[in-house]
Structure formats: C-alpha cells, structure tokens
Amino acid sequence: MSTSVVAPAPALRIGSLALDVPVVLAPMAGITNTAFRRLCREYGAGLYVSEMITARALVERTPETMRLITHHPSEKTRSIQLYGVDAPTVYKAVKILSEEGLADHVDLNFGCPVPKVTRKGGGSALPWKLDLFQDIVESAVRGAGDLPVTVKMRKGIDADHLTYLDAGRIAEAAGASAVALHGRTASEFYSGQADWSAIARLKEAVTSIPVLGNGDIWSGEDGPRMMRETGADGVVVGRGCLGRPWLFGDLAAAFTGSEERHRPRLALVAQAFRRHAELLSEFFESEERGCRDIRKHVAWYFKGYPVGSEIRSALALVSSLAEVDELVERLGDAPYPTEGAEGQRGRAGSPKRVVLPENWLNSRELEGDQRERLTEGAGDTSGG
C-alpha cells in the first residue's frame, strides 16, 4: 500500500500566490532592484517586490521603466509595485503586465509620503479621496485578470485625517487580494514608533483577505511578535533589511520556531557587501555604475562594526570591483557587535506637515477640476 506525502499548507496565500514564509519585502526606491532582491533571496524566503513603477511610464514603455520591471530568471514570483493617480492609466498598466506575462503579482502604492508625490494627490494622500481610491483599485483588479492585486498604504495623512479603515474595506470590496498597512501616517514619515495597534484594528475591519503589517521589523523575532500582537497574516519588511539581507533568513527561522539567527562576523558582512556590488554591476550592465550604487549601502552594512573612517570613506568612493576587493581585504575580521549592528536603520526623519493639493482636505470626494489636475509625481520616491 502506498502512502502519499501531503505538502504543508502555505504560511500565507495572496490570491493565487502561496508563500512558505509570511514575509514580504517592501518596495524601496533605489534599493529593491533585481540585484538586492536576488541577494535577499539567497538568504531567505518570501515575496520580493520591485521598486515603485509609475503607471504612466509603463504605459508609455519608457526604456528605464521596461528595464526596471525585467526580472532575473531566478525570480520565480515576479512582483511589481505600481503608482498612479489616474484609474484608466492604472488599468492600462496592469493590463500590460497581465496580458504580456510580465508579472505574477501587482501591488498598488498608496503609502508614499514624500512631498513631490503627495502634492500631486498621490501616495498616502490619495486614499482621502474615497471615489478616486475605489476607481483605481477596481480598475487595477479589472485589468489584472488572474493576477493578484494588493494594496499598500499608511494610516492616513495625519492623526486628524486617518484613511486606513475606509481604504481597507474599499480595497476588500473591490477585489484586492490583500492589504498591507504601515503603522504610521504620512506626517510621521519614518519617525517615532510604528503603531501596531492600527494594524490590529485593520485586521478586525478586513476579514475576507489577508492583512499584512509593516513598520519596525528590525529582527527575526519582530515578525512573529507583530503577528501575535496584531493578528496580522504576514509582515512587510522595509528599512530593517538595509545592509542586512540575512534578515529574511532570520525571519524564516523565527517563523518555523528555530532559534538559529545570522550573527555574521565582519568578514561575512564584507562578503555580502561584495556580492551585492557584483549583482548591482550585473543589473546595471556596468561595473562602474554598480559600484557607484553600492556606495550608499556602506553605512548600513558596517553599522556597529569596527571599520575605521578611512576605509569607510574609501568604500564610499569605489568605482570598480577590484577596488571593492582590495578594501574588503583590509577589513580583516571581527565578531558580531550585537546591539551595535541591530535596531533601527535607514532614514527616520521627523514629523512634518504633509504637502497636499489645494483644498484637498475639504471633502472626501474629488471636487471641481481636482481630477484634471492630478499628475504622477516623478522621480525617486519611496514605497511608503
């Protein structure tokens, strides 16, 4: 008599996607390109989302956008985050991804807090307009066909203009496959502590699709803790993995009950840094450009380690892999610095007034010529 092996149930299901670990890499502009996503995958598991892509640029098929949405063959689940303020354009962009087989998952950005986006009514400003938000989510779902569409958002514009509960319910009714909440308002930017209680409230309000929590996942232990405290179905990781791609391995271990964690010595951190530079050079098809890009990662990788200012400065000026090799050879080795390498990293900023279109807060619906004046904020923007 033969016996069949039953595959374990997925830790998280987002539409047709089954994830072994309930962990998602948050889109971060200039960070979560193919090179970084590949590096994180080498250490752990989960869903790895692209940098934010503007819907209009995708519809217009600008060369840089088409390059950014191209995934490496090793990326088996191709996840793309889109940003747009015009429902017909978002529909066309998602339809391109779906019909041309360019993605397996589409995430919609409603979390970006930077002024050049919010002043145009986009990012975290957009859910204030309930009709516009609903139009965009419904249009994306309609254009996606069988692709799962998810929504990433913040609590709202500020403490007096919260949007996340309304937006969560609308997204659920519109056919989204999951919603993710960063537990800060746009005005908080990345300052202070993320409000995990808001994630719990969203989970109570949205009951038929997964709710994911984002904000202050700094260690492997933080992932299961967030899910216990909020009831969330999964976690979204942003700044915590900067210079620490092995955080995804730590999260995977924590979710399976293992106490094994990456506590890398300096030599192993140097190897990861060098690997990242190599992957960036491949991504940009230019060793010089790849090495220019790795410069911004220096402080994140070597946070807490005994690396002198002279070598740090030299690493921040590298222009070739040979230079990287020569400098990391000089680093030697040192044990893991425990607390010195852990905790918050990346920009935090301070609370600030959110820049919005004129009269934006007067009504929860678009008024007058507001729709005609909406344009996509261009340039380097955050995933929120």
Rounded Cα distance, 96 and 82, in Å: 12
Instruction: Determine if residue 27 is labeled as part of a ligand binding site.
Output: yes
Instruction: Determine if residue 29 is labeled as part of a ligand binding site.
Output: yes
Question: 340: how many CB neighbours lie within 10 A of its CB?
Answer: 11
Return the bridge partners of 25, or none: 48, 237
Instruction: Determine if residue 182 is labeled as part of a ligand binding site.
Output: yes
Whether 40 is catalytic is no
Return the bridge partners of 199, or none: none
Instruction: Determine if residue 257 is labeled as part of a ligand binding site.
Output: no
Phi/psi zone of residue 214: left (φ > 0), alpha (ψ -120 to 50 degrees), beta? beta
Is residue 210 a contact partner of residue 233, using CB atoms and an 8 Å limit? yes
Instruction: Determine if residue 152 is labeled as part of a ligand binding site.
Output: yes
Nearest partner of 100 among 58, 136, 64, judged by Cα: 58
Residue from 40, 112, 241, 291 carrying the catalytic annotation: 112
Instruction: Determine if residue 22 is labeled as part of a ligand binding site.
Output: no
Say if strands 23-25 and 178-182 run parallel, antiparallel, or are unpaired: unpaired
Rounded Cα distance, 349 and 326, in Å: 35
Instruction: Determine if residue 134 is labeled as part of a ligand binding site.
Output: no
Instruction: Determine if residue 28 is labeled as part of a ligand binding site.
Output: yes
Annotated binding site for FMN: 27-29, 81, 152, 182, 238-239
Annotated binding site: 27-29, 81, 152, 182, 238-239
Residues with catalytic roles: 112
